[in-house]
Amino acid sequence: MKILVAIKQVPERDAPVRIGASGKWIEEADLQFALNEPDAYALEEALQLKDKHGGEVVAVSAGPERVGSTLREALAKGADRAIHIVCDDLGERDALGVARLLAGAIKPEDPDLVLTGLQSEDLGHGQTGVIVAELLGLPHATLILHVEKTETGIKAKREMEEGWFQFIETSTPAVLTMQSGGNKLRYATLMGIKRAKTKEMRQIAAAELGADATPTAVLESIVLPQKKKSTQMLSGSPKEAAAALVEKLKAEARVL
């Protein structure tokens, strides 16, 4: 079973965020980067399928040279090889533009299964994996927690609303976007880190894929949330003040 896992390198969760001079993205010069968490769960699911059924896991990611460190992490955890789409203008591409790059690299591999994270932690569009499926002409499903191989394809567990789950079956090849929390993430072992240095990581220039970089959606600007503080004094008896407080928590704060 050949599984392609699309992963993304994103700023670390606790990294201090400053808006860049252009006002259209954050300042990346002093940031530390890490593997996007939903993609880590997609990688883990692929590795567990490989452990059970054999085959090959290939990690693919697009971005500048620094993305190589995240692909090496995937190799250290157990991926067999990696594909790095070298793209210095990834931040200027919308979900469709990124999906075109990934689809262009994935299609020649002819995988049995393509896994991606549900969404990225930096932009959170939740669209790239679904668009990749459409570009490849493959069936897809989202919010997947677990995947099982069957005689005719795969069976997947989907997370629904209010604690409900759905089980679906589909033929392969297919594209699935994985939800976080479906399994326990593994750590890269010392032996895995050593082996990663000898594993193949092929680089492809974005221009070689012929993907149209013209965005259909343009990010005009970003702003930090405005912090506001206000104090309200509630008059009346304790009973009246309590009733007014409950009403404000319901109508204004919407926490009740």
pLDDT-based confidence at 227, cuts 50/70/90?
confident
Walk me through the domains of the chain, giving residue ranges and CATH numbers: 2-209 (3.40.50.620), 226-256 (no CATH)
Whether 128 has a pLDDT exceeding 90, the answer reads yes
Q: How many residues does the chain have?
A: 256
User: What average pLDDT does the structure give for the chain?
Assistant: 91
Q: CA of 18: how far to CAs of 26, 108, 122, 170, 187, in Å?
A: 6, 39, 13, 44, 30
CA-CA distance, 27 to 53, in Å (whole number)? 43
- Read off the pTM: 0.84
Taking only the tens place, the pLDDT of each residue in 163-204 is 899 999 999 999 999 999 888 999 999 999 999 999 999 999
Q: How many CB atoms lie within 10 A of CB 56?
A: 16
Q: How much is the average pLDDT of 56-76?
A: 96
Q: Which residues contact 248 (CB under 8 A, 6 or more apart)?
A: 232
Q: Cα torsion for 39, 42, 47, 50, to the nearest 10°?
A: -140
Closest to 26 in 3D by CA, of 151, 148, 110, 122: 122
The answer to whether the CB of 23 falls within 8 A of the CB of 219 is no
